[in-house]
């Protein structure tokens, strides 16, 4: 299964660095990327790519890490939004859940990801 993660480092709802708990808990964004990279048998991992700071006034920076050449074209991508909160990059939702990054448009990122990883049709 292809996996796309968009995660803010200042997210107080789903912490970027994970949250240990007795029992389940939450994996960090980096561990989630690693888990899915292994699960999807990806052969190639990118380094950390710092994306263009489209809006220097928004107080965020976005990095991208990818794992490609995966079984069944099941690539894995992590957009880490440094200083971003629990919100939707590129769009203000009118709710204060931290800083919103304007450096990427989450709608475009998600659309491009799904376009590159279409669901196989069942015959």
For residue range 16-63, what is the model confidence (pLDDT) as tens digits? 999 887 777 889 999 999 999 999 999 999 999 999 999 999 999 999
pTM for this prediction = 0.91
* Burial status of residue 27 (CB atoms within 10 A of its CB: 0-12, 13-18, 19 or more): middle
> Residue 99 in contact with residue 89, Cβ under 8 Å?
no
**What per-residue confidence (pLDDT) applies to 120?**
67
67 φ/ψ angles, rounded to the nearest 5 degrees: -130, 125
CA atoms within 13 A on the CB side of 39: 12
| Contact present, 7 and 78 (Cβ < 8 Å) | yes
The CATH code that applies to domain 3-86 is: 3.40.50
């Amino acid at each position: 299964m292809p996996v796309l993660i968009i995660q803010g480092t200042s997210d107080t709802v789903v912490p970027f660095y994970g949250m240990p708990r007795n029992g389940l808990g939450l994996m960090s964004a980096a561990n989630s990327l690693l888990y899915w990279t292994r699960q999807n048998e990806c052969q190639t991992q990118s380094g950390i790519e710092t994306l263009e700071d489209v809006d220097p006034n928004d107080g965020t920076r976005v990095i991208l890490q990818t794992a490609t050449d995966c079984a069944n074209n099941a690539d894995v991508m992590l957009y880490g939004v440094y200083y971003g909160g629990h919100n939707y990059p590129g769009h203000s939702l009118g709710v204060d859940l931290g800083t919103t990054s304007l450096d990427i448009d989450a709608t475009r990122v998600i659309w491009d990801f799904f376009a590159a990883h279409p669901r196989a049709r069942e015959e």
